[in-house]
Each structure stands twice: as structure tokens, then as C-alpha cells.
Structure 1
Amino acid sequence: MSKQTATLFIQCLVDSLRPEIGDAMVHILERLGVPMHYPPEQTCCGQPAFNSGYRAEATKAARRFIDIFEDSEIIVCPSGSCVHMVRHHYPELFKDEPGMLVRARRVAARTYEFTEYLVDVLGVTDPGEELGSRFNGTVTYHDSCHLARGLGIRRQPRQLLGNIPGLTLVEMDESDRCCGFGGTFSVKYPEISTAMVDDKVKTILETGADVVSGCDVSCLMNIAGRLSRIGSPVRALHIAELLAGTGV
């Protein structure tokens, strides 16, 4: 049976600062024979505006997103926070517009986080065999807030990481404790954010891992910045990079 075309929803930070994550995602989907489409006109999903209380601006961004993506068979994104925005907050934004509410719910139902798509839709169970994945080293995993609490996605990333040949997965204490990024939170409250990421880095270092991985680049950039400032050799890599074997 032919696979549905995956329309790629590439998060702003990936597009602007870590495009290699998008490349890794494409590399993996190519290995799986998934037909892909990338709408070049896509822009922000509106999450930063929504989280900061600018609902009118968030609604404008959401309306544009729906216009661009609503004809997609399936939408795949390498970011739990953006998927959470589309699934849970788009219907909320359009609750008083019946026509748009129907469209928002339709798009929300077709939008998947990357590891969720690999495991729950495509049925990937053996990354070594199916994706050619391999990593020699120890990895610990950070549960980002929107992914773990908002979407309930905890099993899928661990299932993938735990089955990469050569990779030893070690759990950190309080893996779902916030790293302190929180989008504009880290800008508005830098002292609190720094204290939070210091706590996160401490638990990462206690594992002795070579790499900390996750599914949200915003968290990984925040953690990587703090690791760099203290001179730690531990790297922060998106799970797509580990699965694709890029950047390792």
C-alpha cells in the first residue's frame, strides 16, 4: 500500500537556526520511501504570540497556517510544541467561527510530531534495520514540556533511541522537568530561566552521557548553550540527527 504524502511543517527555529535537523528528517523519510511535500510559503504557527497573550496575532498566523496546510494528507513536524499549538489551541482560537473551527479540527487531526509519526503511523520498530541508524555512545533523553505533558508523547522517542544499534540509553532524574526555555519566558525572566537550565544540566551530567537528545530544538538549544558556557563536552542533538546518523 502506498504511503500518504507527508507535508513537512518545519518549525521556525529549525528553519532559521538548525536546518540540519530538517535535512535529517527528510533523509529518514526518504529511506522509508515516504513521498514528501514542503510548502515554501509556510510561516510561524503563531505559538509565540499565543503564549504571550497576543491572541489576534496568533489567530492571524493560525488562519494562514490552515490555508496552507489544510489540503495535506498528513502533516509532520519535528517539534512537539508546535504540534501542540496546532492540535490543542487552533480549535480554541476558532471556537466562535464555526466554518474555521471545522477546518482547524481537520488540520489538527492530521498533524503529527515526528517520532509519533514514525512509530504510531509508519510502525518503525527497528531503526537500525529500517533507517540504517547507528550510534556508538551513551545518550540521555529530555522530555520537553509540550511533547510529554501536552501530547503525552514519551514512549515513542525512547522506543526509537533504545533500538539504535550501539546506543546506550540512560535516564536522567526528572527527565520531564522544564529546561527553562519556555519561548519568551527565557527572555522575560532570564534569572529564573538560567536557574532552571542549571538544574537540568546537572541531571544530564550526572548520567555520564555523551549526548542529550530530545524532540524540541528550542529546549536543545537552551541546554546546549548552558553546556557550552560551563565547558562541557556533552552535545545536544535532536533525535532526527541520531536516527539519520548526521551530526554525530
Structure 2
Amino acid sequence: MSERAYPKAVPSHVYLFATCLVDLFVPAAGLDTVRLLEREQLTVHYPRGQSCCGQPAYSSGNPDEARRVAAAQLDLFAEPWPVIVPSGSCAGMMRHHWPALFADDPVNGPKAREIASRVYELAEFLVNVLHIRFDTLPHDVGSPEERVVLHTSCAARREMGTRGHGVALLDGLPGVTRIEHERESECCGFGGTFSLKHPDISGAMVRDKVASACATGCDRLVSADCGCLLNIGHAAAKQGAPLPVEHLATFLWRRTADATSPLGAAQ
């Protein structure tokens, strides 16, 4: 994973690519992403023609189908604005795999590469472009105190390199204590279609993840990937484990909704 250069000037407009799971299962994560960005005085654009990034087909070994799905998105982000994705796995697909999918396409190849250069995972964008700082907020913002564990999806951690951004955001929040746990770096077992093809292995992996998080005595698990959240949250509920889950965008907004705007460099 190469080091990327970040824009020196803060943009005034951004696109939101909300992802299928946000759209269908966790809409609050998308709405809270918009709230976080608008608080920094950004205008958020949501192209209504967007659908899937193509990752399910791609990770299942169907590049032609993934190419068709991804191609339908390429003309939706025509302005040179950042594309913000509240999911490390979808952001990784768009940034790293869209250019490969269209490498030999003289029309869609340049489009895919240009869009990929503007794709940012949400936490990455908040920290490295907007320079969000929560550690200057009053200590009573977002009370009561909470102890949380962070789950960073495999793609977010290894393709997008965004674990450190999530850590920085959580560690800066007044009243929030982040606890590391033994299996933090391991996959939760979801892996998109992996959980369908290998349910026994997937189930064992998520049981380990839930047990490790619960062993810390945390109040909740926070993640920026809805697939992982749905998997971990449903597994915990089925086991009767005391592990509420929350998307990072929703957690950040809930803890800082009363904070003065803006908090970063977008003023």
C-alpha cells in the first residue's frame, strides 16, 4: 500500500458513496456521515443513481459481473470532488480494484483511475483532510463516559490503512476510553460472500471476536464497516453477549452533536 498525498486545501463540496449495506440496513450511518461533514461546512452530494461498488461479485471470482456493476457508477461522480465512503471495504474496492478492473478499457480505465484517486474512507478523510480534533472539546461533551473497543475491517486495516485514523478519532473524544483486545487484528468472519460459503468457519471466527471484545468489559464495539457490524452485532445478540455495536459515524455524531462547528480545518 503506497503512501498517498492529501490535498492541502479543504474542499467545499464532496460526494457520498453510501454503500449497499448503509442504504439497506444501517441508514443512520449514512445520515450521521452527512451530519459530520456538513458540520465542517461541506456541501454533501449524493448521486441517486449509485448502487453497489461491485465487491461481492469481484471477491466471488466474477470480474466481468463486477465490471458491469462498477461501470454503472463511473459517470456519477463527474465533478473533481472527494468521494467519501463510510466503509473501508467498499473504499478499498473503489480505490484499489476499480483501476485494475478497467486496466485495459480505453474509455472506462481513465474514469476509474481518476475516481479512485478521489476516494477516501470516512475516518481517513476526517483526520487527514479535514484535520478534525476532538481533544479540544469540553470534558462534559457527549457524557456519560464510555469504554469502547474498535473493530477495523480487514480491507480498512490492510488495503486502506485506516485503523490509525479510527484510533485517533476515538482517543480524542472526551469521556471515551478505547480498550484494545486480544483479537482486534483478526477478521470477524464476515468477509462478504465468505460467510455464505464457509458458515462454520465464519461462525467460529465471529464467536472468538465477540468473546475477546466482551472480555474487556467494554460498553460497546465501534466500527466503520457495516458488514462487520451486522455480523458481530447479530452474533452477539444470538449468543446473549453484552456487546452493543455502533458505526463510527453514528458514535462520533452522538458523542459530539452539541459541539461547536466546525471542529476541523474547513472553516
**Shorter-normalised TM range:** over 0.9
Alpha-carbon distance between aligned partners in 2 of 1:128 and 1:178, rounded to the nearest angstrom: 34
Q: Which runs of 5+ in 2 are unaligned?
A: 1-8, 256-267
Instruction: Summarize the alignment of residues 129-148 of structure 1 with structure 2, pairs less than 5 Å apart.
Output: 129=137, 134-135=142-143, 136-148=145-157
Alpha-carbon distance between aligned partners in 1 of 2:80 and 2:226, rounded to the nearest angstrom: 24
Matched residue of 1:65: which SS? coil
TM-score by length of 1: 0.94
Q: Is the 8 A contact 2:134 2:174 kept in 1?
A: no
Change (3 A) 1:106 1:100: same
Matched residue of 1:66: which SS? coil
For residue 123 of structure 2, what is the aligned residue in structure 1? 115
1:34 counterpart (25, 31, 42): 42
For residue 64 of structure 2, what is the aligned residue in structure 1? 56
Equivalent pairs: percent with the same residue? Answer: 40
Matched residue of 2:120: which SS? strand
Alpha-carbon distance between aligned partners in 2 of 1:21 and 1:127, rounded to the nearest angstrom: 23
Q: Deviations over 1:191-245 (max 9, x none)?
A: 1110010111111011110111111010011000111011123211111111100
1:149 counterpart (151, 158, 161): 158
Alpha-carbon distance between aligned partners in 2 of 1:145 and 1:2, rounded to the nearest angstrom: 29
Deviation at 1:3, TM superposition (A): 3.1
For residue 214 of structure 2, what is the aligned residue in structure 1? 205
TM-score by length of 2: 0.87
Deviation at 1:67, TM superposition (A): 1.3
Matched residue of 1:87: which SS? helix
1:195 counterpart (181, 184, 204): 204
CA RMSD of aligned residues (A): 1.9
For residue 185 of structure 1, what is the aligned residue in structure 2? 194
For residue 259 of structure 2, what is the aligned residue in structure 1? none
Residue type of the alignment partner of 1:19:
P
Q: Across the two proteins, how many residue pairs are aligned to each other?
A: 246
- The reply to whether residue 223 of structure 1 matches residue 232 of structure 2 is yes
Change (3 A) 1:93 1:64: same
Deviation at 1:127, TM superposition (A): 6.3
Q: Is the 8 A contact 1:7 1:72 kept in 2?
A: no
